[in-house]
Structure 1
């Protein structure tokens, strides 16, 4: 997490000071009764202690604030930046705008209330977290996968250019495909469309399609990973960065998914691999069972109601 904070400029004392001053101006001008922040360190640093603060985020973007230091959450590469140096830079910027310094860098995520939008399975800080995860927020509760589900949903967000091997691996399944992939070339779209694929220019209606899906192919974002998990659909994750890799690893550990490290030039997706996933009855049954468990968990968590309760408590106490 320290590396991520450095990457967005938190360790740049001058840049952070400017952000803090600008947030100070905004807060003075608006005079909010409550600040709800999602991975917004500067706004949190200026809000905390003066305005009720509720921080939201998934497990990856909202680490526990009680920790002494940020732990390693993967071993793909060693940390690039020194956490003590980041803390020193943050505290110099804080003092320069009249704010109290932090004792520990994880305090940057401290708040009056916190709302962790994920299932414990996807929380890389689950072992360190004192609070319970609140569960992902969906527009409506996902329905379970039907026994005769056969569709293959492919959801590749804007900015991702599908590799040639992925398109070739999906081509034999074109008649079962529902695909949203804005970066498909016109030739790829035409080829898949001729095979019967339904190509959607807009995001797929997941609530309608997940119960009919035997497999979801996607990049491993927290939202779709959680929704497909709760629906009981096996997943093939084409991970392009660490957060997606962590989500895919969690799915693999639960026996309901498989990961391809898309950032690895030696990785390949083949038609046989996809066919094997579709034919894996044991994985399909595990996904059904795990999905039911997580739908029950979601019903007990009631995340939207929990968020509203936390927000109203801060507003009226």
Structure 2
């Protein structure tokens, strides 16, 4: 069984579809529990892969927004570990699925609740980007996420809740939180340059699931492609600046305000900017672009890095902020603009970034280096599967 329990976007659905397809070719019979089974449903159906919804859970965070996780322990807390009753209900929902499927193994892509439901009973392999496969510290905790902030919940309380629920179920008791998540061993499926836990991890990230496509050639002129949510204030201002500067490019936008779609489409068309109605294939979208503007999701960052494009990052939440910090340290050609940048500054900065030949050359060199590596996440998964 493959599972995606938490998180948004196409990356989880795409990753699990790829793995399920490859597993079936090697003799496994995959079934996929997805947080949002409508994402890529037609692709799963075309492959004949069983797809069903993962049990839903409610946030346990009752404080003043925004939620700022100090470590992955707080991520576990908000998903259910902070409330024993909710945690017990989530595990009961998973238990019924496990009883029906009787999986020989579980591949878990951001699935902290299922990880406890299956703890020490079913071999579980966590996979995904660095954020969702955190390493364990020697003392039994998780590394901090970015800058030091207070724990939302004491990790000891979260562990106590997990142990109490497991005891009530008559199931094995964890000694610490990381051993719940880490299963029999994980696979970090990103280039090491993008692993936010690289300094704590005993082995480097395995790299993408497959060898990356050949880096794209330089476009014939400076252009951009943006994949943005207009619910983000800076993203709205960036789009306005792109319209004002009339730089050529294309956008895919989510969270367009009600009643604004037609007017915005007209403004973009008048500025010579193409508005995609659905997400275009990323290689096709980035082929004519020199600059990729997005929020710092790990899938987008990996695409930009392996295809050789400069990237402007507008993180929306804690995970994306951690991703952006790591990318700015390790990936030449990545940029970030401050939330308080003036509109005039945006209009000056965006054309300059799109036309930065030196930064573009360094981004292409990085893509070539990543693509030349022989390691893949699929290869790293094989010894774990063989041991089951």
TM-score calculated relative to the size of structure 1 = 0.88
Q: Deviations over 1:238-283 (max 9, x none)?
A: 111111112222222133211235xx5x345611111221232221
Residue of structure 2 aligned with 1:121, choices 172, 193, 198: 193
1:61 aligns with 2:132: yes
Alpha carbons 1:151, 1:214 under 8 Å: kept: yes
What is the RMSD computed on CA atoms of the aligned residues? 2.4
Aligned residue runs from structure 1 range 1-317, under 5 A: 1-65=72-136, 67=138, 68-75=140-147, 77-137=149-209, 141-149=212-220, 150-157=222-229, 163-172=235-244, 174=246, 176-184=248-256, 185-186=260-261, 187-254=263-330, 255-260=332-337, 264=339, 266-268=340-342, 270-297=346-373, 300-307=374-381, 309-310=382-383, 312-314=385-387, 317=388
Question: For residues 158 and 311 of structure 1, what CA distance do their matches in structure 2 show?
Answer: 41
Question: For residues 161 and 189 of structure 1, what CA distance do their matches in structure 2 show?
Answer: 19
| Structure 1: unaligned runs, 5 residues or longer | none
Question: For residues 78 and 281 of structure 1, what CA distance do their matches in structure 2 show?
Answer: 42
Question: For residues 2 and 238 of structure 1, what CA distance do their matches in structure 2 show?
Answer: 25
Q: Deviations over 1:96-154 (max 9, x none)?
A: 1112222121112121232212121221211221233122346x833313234533101
SS in 1 for 2:239: helix
Mean CA deviation greater in 153-162 or 22-31:
153-162
Aligned to 2:7: none
Question: For residues 311 and 284 of structure 2, what CA distance do their matches in structure 1 show?
Answer: 17
Mean CA deviation greater in 1-10 or 179-188:
179-188
CA drift of 1:210 comes to 2.2
| Structure 2: unaligned runs, 5 residues or longer | 1-71
**Count of residues paired in the alignment:** 308
CA drift of 1:227 comes to 0.9
Alpha carbons 1:165, 1:268 under 8 Å: kept: no
Alpha carbons 1:122, 1:246 under 8 Å: kept: no
Question: For residues 163 and 303 of structure 1, what CA distance do their matches in structure 2 show?
Answer: 33
CA drift of 1:163 comes to 4.6
Mean CA deviation greater in 235-244 or 50-59:
50-59
Question: For residues 168 and 305 of structure 1, what CA distance do their matches in structure 2 show?
Answer: 44
Q: Which has the higher contact order (CA 8 A, sep 6+)?
A: 1
Alpha carbons 1:37, 1:56 under 8 Å: kept: yes
Q: Deviations over 1:183-234 (max 9, x none)?
A: 3432222111122211101112212232332100111100010110111111
Alpha carbons 2:230, 2:236 under 8 Å: kept: no
Mean CA deviation greater in 190-199 or 276-285:
276-285
CA drift of 1:173 comes to 5.1
